A and B are shown apart, each in its own frame.
Chain A
């Protein structure tokens, strides 16, 4: 390509200005706000007794028609197959397990909800971000955020199995059907298939202690604030199953870390957690800050169309400026002959 030094410098400077401009987060994408009827879950690790009822019923009710784990022949996808199918003990989230109870232990591990010589349970599943990274990277819009209730769902028929969402999710939630010949992504969809029949998330419906409660995110936030404000040692009537439930479980407040996980993390989530031990111990990456993940790349991504247009224009200009040179030089050469 023949290009004189002057033209080259001009183009370089132009591209540089273009790339260097507008990189401040102030011009990030429109901050996504919580949908008006957003629903979610509040998990209180101090109430959890590790009974795994949520795990078992998650699997059972998501294996039903339209559930996230729906299988051919309506079978429940056991992690460990045996003839009796009596015991299922998954070690992590997988394409067969949308929800799992894990533990933090330290030292003697005798004292519940204490960081030193104690232990705590934690319930892992999709946090249903207000501004989900998985949705922003999905090239075929198989993952979507419901504009009304805010549930991050997916359409199995659209999924092409590219696994971008697995890479994008800071919580490592979407799982891939590695065992399938036609693999898709699997994740918690907050039991959206059960709302039509007036039901809600199975993990909350079958939680005996009120450790997991379902409800509108605004109400869950208010409930969480009340719990944080309660003095440790005083009795508190914890609602069971749903945040507005009449069924209460009266327990002594055992003291919380002064934070509700998910209020601000990753731009806010609709699954929020409370705990007696710091959240970094419960498997949450401390590097996750309050910025919504799609915002991190947005300042670059949004320039892509501009850049393409600019490059095309610049290329055209260069082409126009330089296309006659060969002809000229050919003419000159022929003239010399």
Chain B
């Protein structure tokens, strides 16, 4: 977090108003809202009687989703945790440990029932009663089933929680199951933020949207927020013009690869993966820093049935082929017929020709006489 200047009036929590607004404006832009919504988001976050409580449960996961959140700089971790949300329970970030932490979780759930946002990362093993993942002696399955009905909304962060991810790869020995399938039929709002790891801003924007408008953002059929997963990576890719021009890297390190050509032939899964990596880049690493930006084909980590299921370098099956306006039509459009003007000009030409011919012939006849 930036140092707070003497002239800036710090909020009670130690963040300058200026920085706070910056964070909210960035989130608004990420959501696809106009910049003017930044202050609205800020007001919503401020107005909340207390910072929104968040309980973060981890099941079969690698902590990558937590890591990506920790590395975000807009806002920085301390801003997020101390000013924007109240992280009540998170196994990696808990201050307390053991019975103390579990006790706090129980109390927090009881105190914030119906108000807290439940975040789950990692898939839930269901095979053999879910014994393959236990926290404090209880299965992840039992903890989720107990906690979810009391949450205001459930956010499944990462591919594992969204659709199974790595643990569900064949033969799926633990019966790894996504969160929304476990909560199916229980009338609980679930948002999926797939990705391995997902962009932290997609997560943060969803949280702030919920706080501001008191509803979840618009979701697609796979319960992903449309503002982040509405388009294929292929559609916004910085290398897309090369695809359209037929220029491809044929193999790693060849001339085309060095020229920055399209990576489709190297197995890029961009044409069948929905995500906003090309516009938001990856994490908060820096300019051009996302897989395709550094010359490696997209892996399709956020797409069910693509990442962790298809071979890394097998060619993708493009879902949509962009409306082919840049191709010539196979059958030329039928003509519209001659215009009246063209007909008039043609008629005039014929008339003039006839008159000229008549005169010529007439002259000839005269000469003959």
> Do A and B interact with each other, yes or no?
yes
Q: Which of A86-94, A296-304, A308-316 contacts B (4 or more CB under 8 A)?
A: A86-94
Q: Which of these, A54, A88, A89, A105, contacts B329 with CB under 8 Å?
A: A105
Report yes or no: B321 in contact with A100, Cβ–Cβ below 8 A: no
Considering only CB atoms, which chain B residue lies closest to A49 in the complex?
B318
Report yes or no: A100 in contact with B317, Cβ–Cβ below 8 A: no
Count of A-B residue pairs with CB < 8 Å: 79
> Measured between alpha carbons, how far is A51 from B271 in the docked complex, in Å?
12
Report yes or no: A283 in contact with B248, Cβ–Cβ below 8 A: no
Q: Is the interface of B mostly helix, strand, loop or mixed?
A: loop
C-beta contact mask, B151-165 vs A, less than 8 Å → 1, else 0? 000000000000000
Is A208 in contact with chain B by the CB < 8 A criterion? yes
Given the interface contacts A102-B327, A208-B265, does A251 sit within 8 Å of B245 by beta carbon?
no
Report yes or no: B331 in contact with A53, Cβ–Cβ below 8 A: no
Q: Which of these, A56, A103, A206, contacts B328 with CB under 8 Å?
A: A103
Q: Which of these, B241, B248, B327, B330, contacts A281 with CB under 8 Å?
A: B330
> Measured between alpha carbons, how far is A105 from B333 in the docked complex, in Å?
11
Report yes or no: A56 in contact with B327, Cβ–Cβ below 8 A: no
Considering only CB atoms, which chain A residue lies closest to B248 in the complex?
A53
Q: Interface residues of B toward A: which range?
A: 20 to 34
Given the interface contacts A49-B318, A112-B321, A251-B317, does A104 sit within 8 Å of B328 by beta carbon?
no
Is B181 in contact with chain A by the CB < 8 A criterion? no
Report yes or no: A104 in contact with B329, Cβ–Cβ below 8 A: yes
Q: Which of these, B317, B321, B329, B330, contacts A50 with CB under 8 Å?
A: B321
Report yes or no: A208 in contact with B324, Cβ–Cβ below 8 A: no
Given the interface contacts A56-B247, A251-B317, does A282 sit within 8 Å of B331 by beta carbon?
yes
Is A209 in contact with chain B by the CB < 8 A criterion? yes
Q: Which of these, B317, B320, B330, contacts A102 with CB under 8 Å?
A: B330
Q: Interface residues of A toward B: which range?
A: 35 or more
A225 to chain B, nearest CB (A): 24
Report yes or no: B315 in contact with A50, Cβ–Cβ below 8 A: no
Q: Is the interface of A mostly helix, strand, loop or mixed?
A: mixed
Report yes or no: A209 in contact with B327, Cβ–Cβ below 8 A: no
Report yes or no: B328 in contact with A281, Cβ–Cβ below 8 A: no
C-beta contact mask, B80-124 vs A, less than 8 Å → 1, else 0? 000000000000000000000000000000000000000000000
Report yes or no: B324 in contact with A109, Cβ–Cβ below 8 A: yes
12 pairs, A vs B, C-beta closer than 8 Å? A49-B321, A87-B241, A100-B328, A102-B327, A102-B329, A102-B330, A103-B329, A105-B324, A110-B323, A121-B324, A124-B330, A206-B250
Is A249 in contact with chain B by the CB < 8 A criterion? yes
> Measured between alpha carbons, how far is A281 from B271 in the docked complex, in Å?
27
C-beta contact mask, A48-87 vs B, less than 8 Å → 1, else 0? 0111111111000000000000000000000000000011
Is A95 in contact with chain B by the CB < 8 A criterion? no
> Measured between alpha carbons, how far is A104 from B329 in the docked complex, in Å?
6
Report yes or no: A56 in contact with B246, Cβ–Cβ below 8 A: yes
Which of chain A's residues 91-129 have a Cβ closer than 8 Å to chain B?
91-92, 100-105, 109-110, 112, 119-122, 124
Given the interface contacts A102-B327, A103-B329, does A51 sit within 8 Å of B243 by beta carbon?
yes
> Measured between alpha carbons, how far is A251 from B327 in the docked complex, in Å?
25
Q: Which of these, B244, B248, B320, B324, contacts A103 with CB under 8 Å?
A: B324
Report yes or no: A87 in contact with B245, Cβ–Cβ below 8 A: yes
Report yes or no: A282 in contact with B330, Cβ–Cβ below 8 A: yes
A254 to chain B, nearest CB (A): 11
